[in-house]
């Protein structure tokens, strides 16, 4: 039996989070009434001209810097000509052979903890098309041009991904990167990131690539993995039954979990690319690049290293935190308040994540400000409150708001660490439970927990657990 | 009232109260009616004109006077005018009422000009005779059997026949200069980038440039001053000093390129030589210059202009506006029938040749090669401007020819542009102005200047026109 290896390259279309479109002043907001975000330029009225949105250029540069790529000192836009009802000009403005971002690399950490640098061939700017709506009007097609002209950064990877899981990990990493850079809102279900996958298989160890197929428009991490797994199996089955893989475009049907042939590439279209004479070549001076460089946030790879090596988090904790750039930013803000980083990570990945999950919200609208969570954790550390009390304060903060110190004071939640007072409580409990005292003295050490519980109950959880332990041991042995 | 009065004369007539803007508007509207057989206009907006004239009279009374307040001008139908049909002389846009004003239209309005109507032209500005218009050919007021030139034929004929004080036009490969020459008026193609292209329906984006057609270099300068300037809506518009038509005159070296003069007919040579001597008599000196790649210009022009046009015209698909074929069965039919019906044969020819020039396997041999030669042509001019301040050439190999003489012979028609396409390809400003008559038809000459050298061209033109009267000739008013 031949052992097969998949070779995958992804083209990811990232919608840039500019306020207006790449060549017009219309807004890019999602979900508006059809065509309300389409102005004269977007609907391609006679006589209109495109004007490049500088913000889109800055965002592309930011991405280029993040993947350590060469930024073109000069690039240009080309027209890609084809007719389609939701392509108003009859051509798409794109970049053919002078992309703004050249070759770069993206380090990917895979599930097993290994890290590999994936080559990025190029990234170029282009405009999105509108949408054809086939369902709203009986027998007619509606055209919504709100999306037409939304800036896209098309990021093309090298064919250096060798399984569906690796491809999904790359897509996920890219998602983390563009959201950290704040150049994309990352809303996959609104189509903010769309992925085309080129895939071929070859006998493991072979150098020559097999014939590839392209799977169009897969828009979630899960579907990328499932579509590719299906396609790998399909191609293997074709080859093992003596057939040939045909160069073609395929569509993934997530409901049936299969890919289907869309069109053969044999009759490939001639897009008649040529430089768009309406737009001058874009000169990118060093000063512009430097002005973008100073706005660069800490990148996921650097963040991961810092979490592990400086803050002492585990691979797992670091990975989970940087998965969501807003979560990582929240963690950074909490950790900055000289809180024990490990404790902060535990709480954010535990209690905070659980509460977000429960209320179905995200870090965008987390109800507890980072400084309050930081204070809460600091009060645990300085033994003002117990961990148990902290959980109840957390719930209060989450649901009702308020300040940690205010709640501690107003509700008298300060940890009970007055030795004499605690001794009084302990001796009362010892006299209340003589049987259990006997068991302890016979060597059943485990019963100590029972006494701790009783003390906590009697003090409403406020007793300093360390002190309670000490006093209990001393008194029980007496 | 004198229908051939200059903008300057109309200005002082209005300001002195010799006549009102309302009277002037009525005067021109009546003349347009009487000259209907010339077919200069696609749209005349009588109601809008009279309303605008009333506002102009109020502004004059209030002493809020712009350089063109109350002056009736007409726009080539390639410029979008809000609320008015903007057809580009095509069936494709026979139903298109523009929802916005082109920058040129807007700026002229702000300068006070009144839009009297939209002038006829070759369809999508593709033609040198004004015979490709969906609305029928324009007649040359000097000889109604002859063409007025193209593509801004309606504008040139309207100025010549005294139907408007001045007109806008657009020039891609000669479309202002050649009709100006055929109709005996003064037309300027500005430097590429001086006048905003926003709202001027695109033919060939890297060549298109709007400009004025007027009675004199001085009037052309007045219009240009209102039209020119950087426009944030046009990425290819330039930041440049405004044109100064009164820039101090000095003794110029006038370049005479053998490539433009050698093959000229004896009758035109005679007229051009006379013009050259007049310029020399004004203290300027003729010097020989070489523009060796001139003979490739027309071929290069038709490859590049066609290539750009083929994609600029893709938006006319019958989906959002413009002509849509009745009851198409499917999308393919909708495209095919709408475009087959909507475009005329010359437009289709250019789309087809342009598409061919951009196709895989032909791109390098046609489009890329044409771009390389375009750079050589540009370099020829830059070299020549090392020797000369301006270059003097004919505008066209002939005077206005008879209608239907060339329309069935596209190659001969394209050869009409031999002297105008090089400056277009090089992005240079070029002024076409009357310099004589041959067989009772006007003959034009062309001044080509360095980039943004409009001040030089117009100042020299003004100087020449103060010494000669060719620009003041006008055709017999057949309804006087």
Would you say A17 and A59 are in contact if contact means Cβ atoms under 8 Å apart? yes
Comparing C-alpha atoms, which of B262, B198, B203, B253 is closest to residue B229?
A: B198
Chain A CB within 8 Å of residue B80 CB:
yes
Is the ipTM here above 0.90?
Answer: yes
Strand partners, A14: A153, A193
DSSP string, B199-241: TB--SSTTT-EEEEEESSHHHHHHHHHHHBS--TT-TT----P
Q: How far apart are CA B469 and CA B447, in angstroms?
A: 18
Chain B CB within 8 Å of residue A278 CB:
yes
Chosen for mutation from B82, B304, B319 (greatest number of chain A CBs closer than 10 Å) is B319
In A, minimum Cα distance to B199 occurs at A47
Give the pLDDT of residue A470: 84
Inspect the interface and report whether the beta carbons of A88 and B315 lie closer than 8 Å. yes
Give the pLDDT of residue A381: 87
In which band, very low, low, confident or very high, does the pLDDT at A454 lie, cut at 50, 70 and 90? confident
Integer-rounded Cα Rg, in Å, for chain B is 21
Chain A CB within 8 Å of residue B153 CB:
no
Give the pLDDT of residue A267: 57
Q: Which residues in chain A have their CB less than 8 angstroms from residue B198's CB?
A: 47-49
Chain A CB within 8 Å of residue B96 CB:
yes
Q: What is the pLDDT of residues B407-455, one digit of tens each?
A: 889 888 898 899 999 999 999 999 999 999 999 999 999 999 999 999 9
Q: How far apart are CA B230 and CA A474, in angstroms?
A: 89
Burial letters A392-421, b for 16+ CB under 10 A, else e? bbbebbbeeeeebeebbeeeebebbbeeee
Chain A: closest CA distance from residue B124 (Å): 11
Looking at per-residue pLDDT, the higher value among A163 and A442 belongs to A163
Inspect the interface and report whether the beta carbons of B307 and A274 lie closer than 8 Å. yes
Give the pLDDT of residue A264: 66
Chain A: closest CA distance from residue B178 (Å): 23
Instruction: Kindly tell me if the per-residue pLDDT of B59 is higher than 80.
Output: yes
Instruction: Kindly tell me if the per-residue pLDDT of B40 is higher than 80.
Output: yes
Q: What structural domains and CATH numbers belong to chain B?
A: 1-480 (3.90.1300.10)
Q: How far apart are CA A274 and CA B241, in angstroms?
A: 32
Q: Which residues in chain A have their CB less than 8 angstroms from residue B205's CB?
A: 276-278
The predicted model gives A438-447 an average pLDDT of 84
| Weakest-pLDDT range from A416-430, B92-106, B294-308, B351-365 | A416-430
Pairing of strands A258-264, A213-218: unpaired
Give the pLDDT of residue A262: 82
Q: What is the pLDDT of residues A94-148, one digit of tens each?
A: 999 999 999 999 999 876 768 899 999 999 999 999 999 988 888 888 999 999 9
Q: What is the pLDDT of residues B226-273, one digit of tens each?
A: 999 999 999 999 999 999 988 877 899 999 999 999 999 999 999 999
Q: What is the pLDDT of residues A164-196, one digit of tens each?
A: 999 999 999 999 999 999 999 999 999 999 999
Chain B CB within 8 Å of residue A280 CB:
yes
Inspect the interface and report whether the beta carbons of B233 and A49 lie closer than 8 Å. yes
Chain B CB within 8 Å of residue A151 CB:
no
DSSP string, B419-430: TTHHHHHHT--E
Give the pLDDT of residue A265: 58
How much of chain B exceeds pLDDT 90, in percent?
96
Q: Which residues in chain A have their CB less than 8 angstroms from residue B204's CB?
A: 277
| Weakest-pLDDT range from A380-389, B276-285, B327-336 | A380-389
Q: Which residues in chain B have their CB less than 8 angstroms from residue A273's CB?
A: 358
Chain B neighbours among A 243-272 (CB < 8 Å)?
270, 272
Give the pLDDT of residue B480: 45
Give the pLDDT of residue A170: 95
Q: How far apart are CA A179 and CA A193, in angstroms?
A: 11
Selecting from A90, A273, A278 the residue whose C-beta is nearest the C-beta of B315 gives A90
Q: Which residues in chain B have their CB less than 8 angstroms from residue A77's CB?
A: none
Would you say A29 and A37 are in contact if contact means Cβ atoms under 8 Å apart? yes
The predicted model gives A216-241 an average pLDDT of 93
What SS3 class is residue B142?
coil
Looking at per-residue pLDDT, the higher value among B117 and A401 belongs to B117
Pairing of strands A151-157, A142-144: unpaired
Chain B CB within 8 Å of residue A279 CB:
yes
The one-character DSSP state at B242 is: P
The predicted model gives A267-287 an average pLDDT of 92
Q: How far apart are CA B110 and CA B225, in angstroms?
A: 12
In which band, very low, low, confident or very high, does the pLDDT at A453 lie, cut at 50, 70 and 90? confident
Q: How far apart are CA B381 and CA B290, in angstroms?
A: 9
Burial (CB count within 10 angstroms: exposed 0-12, middle 13-18, buried 19+), residue B246: exposed
Inspect the interface and report whether the beta carbons of B360 and A272 lie closer than 8 Å. yes
The predicted model gives A156-160 an average pLDDT of 97
Inspect the interface and report whether the beta carbons of B236 and A47 lie closer than 8 Å. no
In which band, very low, low, confident or very high, does the pLDDT at A254 lie, cut at 50, 70 and 90? confident
Chain A CB within 8 Å of residue B365 CB:
no
Q: What structural domains and CATH numbers belong to chain A?
A: 4-290 (no CATH), 298-410 (no CATH), 419-477 (1.10.10.410)
Q: What is the pLDDT of residues B333-380, one digit of tens each?
A: 999 999 999 999 999 999 999 999 999 999 999 999 999 999 999 999
Comparing C-alpha atoms, which of B197, B193, B168 is closest to residue B180?
A: B168
DSSP string, B74-136: EEETTB--TTSB--TT-GGGTT-B-SS--HHHHHHHHTT-EEEEEE--SGGG--SSS-S-TT-
Chain B CB within 8 Å of residue A81 CB:
yes
Inspect the interface and report whether the beta carbons of B205 and A277 lie closer than 8 Å. yes
Q: What angle do CA A123, A128, A134 make, to 5 degrees?
A: 140
How much of chain B exceeds pLDDT 70, in percent?
99
* Residue B201 φ then ψ, to 5°: -60, 125
Chain B CB within 8 Å of residue A139 CB:
no
Region at B348 (left for phi over 0; alpha for psi -120 to 50; beta for the rest): alpha
Give the pLDDT of residue A12: 98
The predicted model gives A330-341 an average pLDDT of 88
In which band, very low, low, confident or very high, does the pLDDT at A431 lie, cut at 50, 70 and 90? confident
Give the pLDDT of residue A217: 86
Comparing C-alpha atoms, which of B457, B452, B397, B461 is closest to residue B195?
A: B452
In which band, very low, low, confident or very high, does the pLDDT at B305 lie, cut at 50, 70 and 90? very high
What stretch of H or E contains B48? Answer: helix B46-61
The one-character DSSP state at B195 is: B
The catalytic site residues of B sit at 76, 151, 175
In B, minimum Cα distance to A268 occurs at B360
Inspect the interface and report whether the beta carbons of A49 and B358 lie closer than 8 Å. no
Inspect the interface and report whether the beta carbons of B235 and A274 lie closer than 8 Å. no
Q: Which residues in chain A have their CB less than 8 angstroms from residue B232's CB?
A: 51
Whether omega for the bond prior to residue B151 falls within 30 degrees of 0, making it cis, is yes
Q: How far apart are CA B253 and CA B256, in angstroms?
A: 9
Inspect the interface and report whether the beta carbons of A83 and B88 lie closer than 8 Å. no
Selecting from B93, B96, B235 the residue whose C-beta is nearest the C-beta of A280 gives B235
Instruction: Kindly tell me if the per-residue pLDDT of A356 is higher than 50.
Output: yes
Q: What is the pLDDT of residues B144-179, one digit of tens each?
A: 999 999 999 999 999 999 999 999 999 999 999 999
What SS3 class is residue B435?
strand
Q: What is the 3-state secondary structure (H, E, C) of A302-342?
A: HHHHHHHHHCCCCHHHHHHHHHCHHHHHHHHHHHCCCCCHH
Q: How far apart are CA B50 and CA B33, in angstroms?
A: 15
| Weakest-pLDDT range from A28-42, A88-102, A421-435 | A421-435
Inspect the interface and report whether the beta carbons of B320 and A51 lie closer than 8 Å. no
Beta carbons within 8 Å of A349's beta carbon, 6+ residues apart:
A317, A320, A321
Selecting from B96, B355, B363 the residue whose C-beta is nearest the C-beta of A46 gives B96
Structure tokens belonging to residue A423 = 């001794």
Give the pLDDT of residue A266: 54
The predicted model gives B92-118 an average pLDDT of 98
Selecting from A44, A49, A276 the residue whose C-beta is nearest the C-beta of B315 gives A44
> What average pLDDT does chain B have?
97
| Weakest-pLDDT range from A46-55, A326-335, B18-27, B65-74 | A326-335
């Amino acid at each position: 039996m031949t052992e097969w290896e998949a070779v995958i390259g992804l083209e990811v279309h990232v919608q840039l989070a500019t306020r207006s479109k790449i060549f017009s002043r219309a807004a890019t907001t999602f979900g508006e009434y059809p065509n309300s975000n389409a102005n004269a330029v977007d609907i391609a009225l006679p006589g209109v001209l495109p004007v490049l949105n500088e913000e889109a250029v800055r965002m592309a540069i930011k991405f280029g810097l993040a993947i350590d790529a060469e930024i073109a000192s000069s690039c240009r836009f080309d027209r890609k000509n084809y007719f389609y009802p939701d392509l108003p000009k009859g051509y798409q403005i794109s970049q053919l052979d002078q992309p703004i971002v050249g070759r770069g690399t993206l380090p990917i950490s895979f599930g097993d903890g290994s890290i590999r640098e994936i080559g990025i061939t190029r990234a170029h700017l282009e405009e999105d098309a509108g949408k054809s709506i086939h369902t709203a009007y009986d027998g007619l097609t509606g055209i919504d041009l709100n999306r037409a002209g939304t800036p896209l950064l098309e990021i093309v990877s090298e064919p250096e991904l060798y399984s569906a899981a690796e491809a999904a990990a790359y897509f996920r990493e890219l998602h983390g990167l563009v959201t950290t850079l704040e150049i994309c809102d990352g809303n996959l279900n609104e189509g903010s990131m769309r992925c085309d996958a080129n895939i071929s298989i070859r006998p493991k160890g072979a150098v020559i690539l097999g014939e590839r197929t392209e799977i169009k428009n897969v828009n979630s991490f899960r579907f990328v993995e499932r579509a590719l797994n299906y396609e790998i199996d399909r191609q293997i089955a074709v080859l093992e039954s003596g057939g040939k893989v045909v160069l073609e475009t395929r569509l993934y049907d997530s409901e049936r979990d299969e890919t289907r042939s869309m069109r053969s590439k044999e009759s490939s279209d001639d897009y008649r690319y040529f430089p768009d004479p309406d737009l001058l070549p874009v000169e990118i001076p060093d000063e512009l690049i430097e002005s973008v460089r100073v706005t660069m946030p800490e990148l996921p790879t650097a963040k991961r290293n810092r979490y592990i090596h400086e803050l002492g988090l585990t691979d797992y904790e670091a990975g989970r935190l940087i998965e969501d750039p807003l979560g990582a930013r929240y963690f950074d803000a909490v950790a900055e308040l000289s809180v024990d980083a490990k404790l902060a990570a535990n709480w954010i990945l535990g209690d905070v994540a659980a509460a977000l999950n429960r209320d179905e919200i995200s870090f965008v609208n987390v109800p507890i400000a980072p400084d309050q969570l930081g204070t809460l954790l600091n009060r645990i550390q300085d033994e003002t409150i117990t961990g148990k009390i902290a959980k109840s304060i957390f719930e209060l903060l989450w649901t009702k708001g308020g300040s940690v110190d205010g709640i501690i004071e107003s509700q008298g939640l300060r940890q009970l660490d007055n030795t004499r007072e605690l001794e009084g409580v302990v001796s009362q409990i010892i006299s209340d439970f003589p049987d259990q005292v006997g068991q302890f003295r016979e060597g059943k050490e485990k019963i100590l927990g029972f006494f701790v519980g009783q003390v906590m109950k009697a003090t409403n959880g406020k007793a300093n657990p360390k002190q309670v332990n000490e006093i209990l041991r001393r008194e029980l042995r007496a | 009232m004198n229908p051939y009065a200059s903008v300057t004369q109309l200005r002082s007539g209005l300001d002195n109260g010799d006549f009102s803007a309302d009277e002037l508007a009525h005067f021109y509207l009546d003349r347009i009616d009487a000259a209907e057989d010339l077919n200069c206009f696609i749209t005349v907006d009588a109601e809008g004109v009279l309303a605008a004239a009333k506002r102009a009279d109020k502004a004059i009374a209030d002493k809020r006077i712009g350089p063109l307040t109350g002056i009736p001008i007409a726009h080539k139908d390639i410029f979008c005018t809000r609320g008015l049909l903007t057809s580009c002389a095509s069936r494709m846009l026979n139903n298109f009422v523009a929802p916005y004003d082109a920058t040129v239209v807007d700026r002229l309005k702000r300068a006070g000009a009144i839009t009297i109507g939209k002038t006829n032209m070759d369809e999508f500005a593709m033609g040198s005779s004004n015979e490709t218009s969906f609305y029928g050919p324009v007649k040359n007021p000097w000889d109604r059997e002859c063409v007025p030139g193209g593509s801004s034929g309606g504008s040139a004929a309207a100025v010549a026949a005294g139907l408007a004080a001045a007109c806008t036009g657009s020039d891609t490969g000669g479309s202002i200069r050649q009709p100006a020459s055929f109709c005996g008026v003064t037309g300027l193609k500005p430097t590429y980038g001086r006048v905003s292209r926003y709202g001027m329906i695109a033919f060939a984006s890297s060549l298109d440039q709007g400009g004025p057609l007027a009675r004199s270099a001085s009037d052309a300068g007045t219009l240009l001053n209102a039209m020119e300037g950087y426009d944030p809506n046009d990425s290819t518009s330039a930041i440049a000093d405004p044109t100064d038509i009164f820039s101090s005159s000095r003794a110029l070296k006038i370049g005479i390129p053998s490539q433009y003069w050698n093959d000229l007919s004896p009758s035109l040579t005679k007229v051009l030589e006379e013009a050259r001597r007049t310029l020399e008599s004004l203290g300027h000196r003729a010097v020989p210059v070489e523009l060796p790649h001139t003979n490739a210009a027309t071929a290069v022009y038709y490859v590049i202009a066609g290539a750009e046009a083929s994609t600029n015209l893709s938006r006319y698909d019958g989906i959002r506006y413009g002509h849509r074929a009745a009851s198409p069965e499917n999308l393919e039919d909708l495209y095919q029938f709408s475009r087959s019906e909507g475009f005329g044969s010359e437009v289709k020819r250019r789309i087809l040749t342009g598409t061919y020039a951009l196709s895989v396997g032909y791109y390098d041999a046609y489009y890329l090669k044409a771009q390389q030669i375009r750079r050589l042509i540009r370099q020829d001019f830059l070299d020549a401007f090392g020797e000369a301040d301006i270059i003097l050439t004919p505008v066209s190999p002939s005077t206005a020819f008879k209608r239907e003489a060339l329309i069935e012979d596209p190659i001969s028609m394209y050869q009409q542009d031999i002297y105008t396409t090089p400056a277009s390809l090089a992005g240079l400003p070029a002024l076409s102005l009357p310099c004589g008559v041959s067989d009772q038809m006007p003959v034009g000459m062309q001044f080509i200047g360095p980039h943004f050298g409009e001040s030089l061209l117009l100042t020299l033109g003004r100087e020449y026109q103060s010494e000669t009267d060719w620009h003041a000739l006008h055709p017999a008013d057949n309804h006087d």
